[in-house]
Structure 1
Amino acid sequence: MRQVGSVLWPKLRTLQIYGANTGVGKTVVSTLLLKRLKKHLPDYDVRYVKPVSTGPLTEADNRGVLSKTLYQFDEPLSPHIAARTAKEPIDDQSILLRLDEELSSYASGKDGFVVVETAGGVLSPAPSGNTQADFYRPLRLPVSLVGDHKLGGIATTISAWESLHVRGYDVGSVMLFEESRYDNHTYLKDYFADRGILTVSLPPPPAPATSLSDDEKQMSQYYADACTVPALERVITQALEAHTTRLTQLQSLPARAEKTIWHPFMQHTERTERNILAIDSAYGDYFQTYQSLPPSESQTRQRFERESHVLKPAFDGSASWWTQGLGHGNPKLALTAAHAAGRYGHVMFGGAAHEPAVGLAEMLLRNVGNPRLSRVFYTDNGSTGMEVAVKMALKAASKRYGWDAGMERGEGRGDQVRILGLKGSYHGDTMGTMDCSEPSVYNRKVEWYKGKGHWFDFPLVKMKEGKWLVEPPQGMEDVFGPPQEFENLDQVFELPDRGAVAEKYERYLKNELERLAAQGIKFGALIMEPVILGAGGMLFADPLFQHTLVKVVREHAPSLYQTQGPTTEQPDELSWRGIPVVFDEVFTGLYRLGRFSSSSFLQTAPDISVHAKLLTGGLLPLCTTLASESIFDAFLSNDKTDALLHGHSYTAHAVGCDIAKFSLQTMMEMDRGGKWNGFKKQWAIPTTGISGLRGKRATVATALAENWSMWSKDFVTEISYEEKVESLFALGSVLAISMKDPAGSGYTSTAATGLRDQLLAGTDVADSVIHSRVLGNVLYLMASMTTTRETLESIEEVVKAAIK
């Protein structure tokens, strides 16, 4: 599928004419501008395009320049009504593709300038019913707004500009007719000057004559006279300068960044201007990127000279580092943010409450599906949210079991409390969360790091040559047995049907805990990323192992946790037992894996869970740490120093909370409304493949898969047979491909970098590229939760070709 994105050429200047309302004179203003362009730029190829026009063609459409109307409807009605008479439905994508092709055809050859006129007002409907501002947004053309000169026109003009501005358009100028009675242009000139926008007034056209011939004569004279006014020259100059500035800024971004930016997760001895991606904007699933590679290296010289496209759509393969949920440039998200910013800005949250924060907390607790959780603590990102979770868990365990930090009495560090977790875990870069991970490339060389825990190795879920496998860690086959083979992914998650393996896991875990307890080690929490360990290398943990680990730590006698004296433990069914269980759902939660909460895959409920990433639809940082009442109670006393003394200046910022409410509500409606059923059906288990499932689920499984991916089953299966691929998996919006590396896997492997670079370089036949990230020998790709099947099909074809 061809991808339409922002358009920008070195030699072709574009200007889109929007109107503040209908009847404000867009056609007259466009005609004046075009006539002035012909005089001001006599060597330019000046053209006019009207993508959609309603009503019969009139003389006004012939402006003495090359003009084109792409879709003409005879009825003088709103485009969404006029389009009903079309022989075939006209969708937004078809119109944008045709407009993009039309503009591209003007881009080669000599310098050019194209005026693109819209129909109606900024928020008037397009043929599909979508507003024009949203309909044209993928192209993000530079805009000149024709203001309203009539009574009430000040309000409509400002409203129109705000509608364009909040959607990410660059409005460079405002033009409107002079009207002495209302003097709108004087007010608007001052108003927009404060916002860096040129505002000019133009002579009004004459009133219509009584005869058509007289009207033609007086309009011809009007155009001849009015097109000479200096105001038009200023608009043209502004447009030309804005075009040059945009090009210059884009082309200079990599060099400027190389001199000033310290990038995360990058060895800067390997960084150059050439491998810094300049992003002009983003929309839907795509970045609009500046292609800095010379044409001889990225595409053929002939194609480069033919198209000369500065910007290229790049599929956002990391879902903007795992946060993207509702697509870039989502106007509803932007409007939600604008409303909250206008209503609240930011208000402090110490001892206060506001509806966005309280409403979001209630929504999370109501839908997370965990009856244990009753309290929500706000932070600003996943790492700090996990830092709070660690504080909560260790405090609760220390209080119940009588451990003492000893700091108040000057007794050194007192009792040393550690955590239990999994190898490959990564919970963030704050001091506390870093110590909750085993030594790794992320923390081993950090001076203050001291790993404070024990991390279990665990079996991995992966697909190899069309088969789902659960493989034990290397060297632990005698403990866990040989690899387990499954016909489908649902069988992996049928935990009750895997009782024999569960017994092996439980026996191993109990023995390990008893061994550790004999060493006098105190454990205050179990911390895990449910199902998939993200930054550790996209490791798909056997859900049965994680389920069993939770079961074992909760059922162990308190003596194994090194209690000192009598314990205060009197838990009810919702209180934590053994030690508090913390689930880091920062990456895997909130529909990233296809479900609201990833803990449901493990058929167990944590005492504390942390949620971020998809929480705000990819717009703002925000994190929530959810805790049980028994965890909350551990901080209650008459001494303030026993409280959870943790917070941020932007705790529960209203803008982020309001966006999160909208984002979650949207995704829940998508789930309940069956928006993902097409993906679920392609992973449905055929009748012949349900022998391993319990009968009560067989009929459901044949219709919609419970464990599914947005990436197609056929694609994943086909790739699993490729010689270069060690294994892969797909779940929810996540696809992870492990490439073979004779030198060994891990973060320092470079086995996947070649595939990453090839996807970004693109091909001579592809109109877009794929931006992706690698974790050692693993290349992963993610969709947003609004990505279409058609988009992913096109991405899958490119990935297959690159691997082959």
Structure 2
Amino acid sequence: MVAIRSALWKSLRSYQVYGANTNVGKTIISTALCKSLQRKFPDQRIWYLKPVSTGPLEEADDCHVRKFVRGIQADCLFQFDEPVSPHIAARQSSGNVPSDLELVQSIYSKMSQYAAESTPGWALVETAGGVHSPGPSGIPQADLYRPLRLSTILVGDSNLGGISSSISAFESLHVRGYDVDLVVLFVNEKYKNHEYLVEYFSPKNVTVLPIPAPPEWQPNETSDRQCMADYYDSLSESASMDQALDFLTASHDRRIHDLNSMASRANRVIWYPFSQHQSISPSTITTIDSAYGDYFQTLDPAAKEDPHRPLLNTTFDGSASWWTQGLGHGNPELSLAASYAAGRYGHVMFAGTVHEPALTLAESLLDNLRNSRLTRVFYSDNGSTGIEVAVKMALRAAAVRNGWDASVKEVEVMGLRGSYHGDTIGSMDCSEPSVYNEKVGWYRGRGYWFDYPTVKMVNGTWTVEVPEALQYELGPGSQYASVSEVFNLSRRQLESSAQRYRAYIQKIIHKLVTDDKRRFGALIMEPVVLGAGGMIVIDPLFQKLLVDVVRESRDIFEAGGMGNSQQVVASEWTGLPVIFDEVFTGLYRLGRFSSASFIGVEPDISVHAKLLTGGVVPLCATLASKSIFEAFVSPDKSDALLHGHSYTAHAIGCTVARTSISSMIDMERNGSWDDFKASWQDSHGPEIWSVWSKEFIAQLSTDPCVAGAVGLGSVLAITLKDSAGSGYTSTVSQDLQARLAQTSGRDWNIHSRVLGNVIYLMSSLTCAKEDVRAIEKFVASCLQR
């Protein structure tokens, strides 16, 4: 696994020492801390670790520490001879140059050895240069060491200009999720940086420790060494250093106490979403200390009984944090984008105003969705409200064109059985009765929902399955050699199933509208995959033909109203406005910028959230065509789309979204997913690929417990056989979910969510191939058990 645990043990109080700049005294302060710790805690072990050192061996920092602190274990992991920045020294070295992963793993491995000692102790990990000084690969240290998320001591700069560099270093660490427990710097009476920094950091609850500066360098080596020894002896016995060590001790203990108590405290005060609290207890609540990449760092309850055991597990975020996480937790680019926008704007209201992030994001979405119909972007705060905006748009457009009075006769929507469009009252009414809404008093279920054929791999073969109730009209289904063949719609439209689908849809529409006199104002669908409905892959041919038939049925849908004698141009909606809910399926979740492209349809309204901001902040964009927009244009203010939120188009979300989209587009252009795509290459249809290997999907599909499996983009869905057929309320997948959460024999586990008899996993778009393959092996082994 590429994932690295955060480094936290009860038996080992560990701190990473960062410097605000080069030559600020990190090694001197580290040595002083080691000397003080040795005096204050004579029965404990003290370790010093220098991950990367450059320059002559005799001048190495670990040698300096050993010289002045007897009995200490001081280690250096990678030494380069040239006294230059590590990235330059590494390039000039003929020896072993570690990768970023190897370096961080080496640090964690060494600290694990320290923590395993029978005697508790302390460990100081000293970085090289400043916070953003590059490591051997060139990546800044603040990003390189972030997976470890060690508690931090920042050595401030006491020289001219040091106030600025110290504050900047602190903020760089802070925005990346480091906890800076202590700032230490030398007293410099000329510049008095320490006085300013004490006052500056005090309101931020950051402790600043000014200490005496070391003695001037002596040309006589013996005299110089004695002066430094006296300095360290004096400093180790000072009251200020003693107080600093007490503070560090308390900070470490408080962190562990808070982690251990969080589940119990949460159980008393939190009302959890999608949860039956009768089955919730502190033991079922996962405590997350931090997250990085595709992983949570979660508390290991068993570590309470063993102080030498790591307190934090590495847990694969198997739901991509409810489908929002796309570029990795703790992504520094997204964090910096959010910080920049917060600093530049905070939040500014959006009615009748414009700011750069909202404007450029709208332009980017319109350009990259490549939908010739869409011309306008409306912002809201999450997917559910974005759907309500879309429905408002569609129903008004239909009413205006057809001359309907909505107060006289109810207007409904058409959709798909098992669909889910959010939890707000309006979005719930767009879905059929289900466990999500049946006990909500105001729910009405205003619509008709088509049943449909589905796609999955069954026993090694890609299969289009037709529900038993529809087989008389649609046929028994069919099998295909590859998933690309399933999505080759230009060829499949020539099959007999296409004619059957079309006739079935036409018959239903005719009965609903002509015979039953029901009035419809929109067709709303999740393209390709129904998310909360059970990660169901719908036959893309059925979805395409459903849209085609609806658009061809203008006369039927408009017969109940006054109609519109004007000729409709090609880009305008006909029949019904078509809404695509891409909240989950869009923005590369299925491997493409827009999931509409899988079925070759341009919707009139398109809704995007989730991956829009890469899992950092909520934001939703509802895009509409010109003909939808013009239904609201009038001299009368009451005809406007009177919908909005206090945080509409908030600058932080728009800035992060712009950065997120740009990053994903760059990944596609740069071939970041080519290794994944290679194993899915097929000449019989369009490019369909997944991070989950084709061989793994086939293996799952032949398991005796599995009814079918699907992999698209970063999504893996496994449907387990359930003789009870109880759908969302099924408990058949809970055993597999529990097995994935176990850590026996490994230093990582998987946090997953289930949808009845369906268990799904989702990676980010930046997940390492090695990690995905390791997860595949683990899932397969859990199924076999």
TM-score range, shorter chain: over 0.9
1:41-440 to 2 correspondences below 5 Å: 41-56=41-56, 57-58=58-59, 59-62=63-66, 63-64=69-70, 65-84=72-91, 85-108=93-116, 109-292=118-301, 305=306, 307-405=308-406, 413-440=407-434
* CA distance in 2: counterparts of 1:44 and 1:294, whole angstroms: 20
Q: Secondary structure at the match of 1:274?
A: helix
Residue 442 of structure 2 corresponds to 448
Q: 1:762 aligns with which of 725, 743, 757?
A: 743
1:556-595 to 2 correspondences below 5 Å: 556-567=553-564, 569-595=566-592
* CA distance in 2: counterparts of 1:634 and 1:13, whole angstroms: 65
1:474 Cα deviation after fit: 2.4
Residue 724 of structure 2 corresponds to 743
Q: Is this contact kept in 1: 2:303–2:310, CA < 8 A?
A: no
Residue 31 of structure 1 corresponds to 31
1:762-801 to 2 correspondences below 5 Å: 762-764=743-745, 766-801=746-781
Residue 702 of structure 1 corresponds to none
Q: Which moved more, 1:61-70 or 1:749-758?
A: 61-70
1:418-567 to 2 correspondences below 5 Å: 418-498=412-492, 499=494, 500-517=496-513, 518-567=515-564
Which contiguous aligned blocks of 4+ residues in structure 1 show a shift greater than 6 angstroms?
Answer: none
* CA distance in 1: counterparts of 2:782 and 2:548, whole angstroms: 44
Q: Which ranges in structure 2 are unaligned for 5 or more consecutive residues?
A: none
Q: Secondary structure at the match of 2:129?
A: strand
1:569 Cα deviation after fit: 4.7
Change (3 A) 1:568 1:387: farther
Q: Secondary structure at the match of 1:121?
A: coil
Q: Is this contact kept in 2: 1:401–1:568, CA < 8 A?
A: no
* CA distance in 2: counterparts of 1:525 and 1:559, whole angstroms: 14
Q: Is this contact kept in 2: 1:327–1:784, CA < 8 A?
A: yes
The residue type paired with residue 528 of structure 1 is M
The residue type paired with residue 86 of structure 2 is P
* CA distance in 1: counterparts of 2:693 and 2:464, whole angstroms: 21
The residue type paired with residue 763 of structure 2 is A
Q: Which ranges in structure 1 are unaligned for 5 or more consecutive residues?
A: 296-303, 406-412, 698-704
Q: Is this contact kept in 2: 1:416–1:522, CA < 8 A?
A: yes
* CA distance in 1: counterparts of 2:303 and 2:705, whole angstroms: 29
1:2 Cα deviation after fit: 5.7
* CA distance in 2: counterparts of 1:495 and 1:15, whole angstroms: 58
The residue type paired with residue 60 of structure 1 is H
* CA distance in 2: counterparts of 1:455 and 1:175, whole angstroms: 65
> What's the CA shift string for 1:231-272, capped at 9, x where partnerless?
211221121111111111111111111100000000111111
Q: Is this contact kept in 1: 2:421–2:431, CA < 8 A?
A: yes
Q: Is this contact kept in 2: 1:593–1:732, CA < 8 A?
A: yes
Q: Is this contact kept in 2: 1:2–1:767, CA < 8 A?
A: no
Q: Is this contact kept in 2: 1:400–1:569, CA < 8 A?
A: no
1:13 Cα deviation after fit: 0.5
Change (3 A) 1:568 1:155: farther
Q: Is this contact kept in 2: 1:506–1:548, CA < 8 A?
A: yes
1:98 Cα deviation after fit: 1.0
Q: Is this contact kept in 2: 1:258–1:273, CA < 8 A?
A: yes
Residue 692 of structure 2 corresponds to 711
Q: Is this contact kept in 2: 1:32–1:226, CA < 8 A?
A: yes
Q: Is this contact kept in 2: 1:17–1:116, CA < 8 A?
A: yes
The residue type paired with residue 580 of structure 1 is P
* CA distance in 2: counterparts of 1:308 and 1:579, whole angstroms: 61
- Tell me the matched-pair count: 772
1:684 Cα deviation after fit: 1.1
* CA distance in 2: counterparts of 1:157 and 1:391, whole angstroms: 52
* CA distance in 2: counterparts of 1:732 and 1:148, whole angstroms: 48
* CA distance in 2: counterparts of 1:287 and 1:564, whole angstroms: 55
* CA distance in 2: counterparts of 1:214 and 1:306, whole angstroms: 44
* CA distance in 1: counterparts of 2:120 and 2:317, whole angstroms: 32
The residue type paired with residue 103 of structure 1 is M
Change (3 A) 1:238 1:374: same
The residue type paired with residue 232 of structure 1 is M
Q: Which moved more, 1:492-501 or 1:588-597?
A: 492-501
Q: TM-score, normalised by structure 1?
A: 0.95
* CA distance in 2: counterparts of 1:353 and 1:574, whole angstroms: 28
Q: Is this contact kept in 2: 1:521–1:562, CA < 8 A?
A: no
1:742 Cα deviation after fit: 1.1
Q: Is this contact kept in 2: 1:12–1:114, CA < 8 A?
A: yes
* CA distance in 2: counterparts of 1:127 and 1:730, whole angstroms: 37
* CA distance in 1: counterparts of 2:254 and 2:325, whole angstroms: 29
Q: Which moved more, 1:424-433 or 1:650-659?
A: 424-433
1:194 Cα deviation after fit: 1.1
* CA distance in 1: counterparts of 2:165 and 2:436, whole angstroms: 54
Q: 1:724 aligns with which of 705, 723, 730?
A: 705
Q: Percent identity?
A: 52
* CA distance in 1: counterparts of 2:664 and 2:229, whole angstroms: 55
The residue type paired with residue 266 of structure 1 is S
Q: Secondary structure at the match of 1:356?
A: helix
1:114 Cα deviation after fit: 0.7
Q: Secondary structure at the match of 2:727?
A: coil
1:567 Cα deviation after fit: 2.0
Q: Secondary structure at the match of 1:484?
A: strand
1:294 Cα deviation after fit: 7.7
* CA distance in 2: counterparts of 1:598 and 1:306, whole angstroms: 49
Q: TM-score, normalised by structure 2?
A: 0.97
Q: Is this contact kept in 1: 2:2–2:101, CA < 8 A?
A: no
1:74 Cα deviation after fit: 1.8
Q: Is this contact kept in 1: 2:402–2:564, CA < 8 A?
A: yes
1:88 Cα deviation after fit: 3.7
* CA distance in 2: counterparts of 1:460 and 1:561, whole angstroms: 31
Q: Which moved more, 1:567-576 or 1:243-252?
A: 567-576
Q: Which moved more, 1:246-255 or 1:225-234?
A: 225-234
Q: Secondary structure at the match of 2:112?
A: helix
Q: Is this contact kept in 2: 1:82–1:127, CA < 8 A?
A: yes
1:565 Cα deviation after fit: 2.7
> What's the CA shift string for 1:479-520, capped at 9, x where partnerless?
111121000000001112112211100000001111111111
RMSD over aligned Cα atoms: 1.3
* CA distance in 1: counterparts of 2:43 and 2:703, whole angstroms: 55
The residue type paired with residue 526 of structure 1 is L
> What's the CA shift string for 1:424-453, capped at 9, x where partnerless?
000011111101100000001110101110
Residue 618 of structure 2 corresponds to 621
Q: Is this contact kept in 2: 1:151–1:182, CA < 8 A?
A: yes
* CA distance in 2: counterparts of 1:156 and 1:123, whole angstroms: 11
Q: Is this contact kept in 2: 1:514–1:560, CA < 8 A?
A: no
* CA distance in 1: counterparts of 2:50 and 2:771, whole angstroms: 28
Q: 2:715 aligns with which of 721, 734, 757?
A: 734
* CA distance in 2: counterparts of 1:655 and 1:392, whole angstroms: 26
Q: Is this contact kept in 1: 2:185–2:209, CA < 8 A?
A: yes
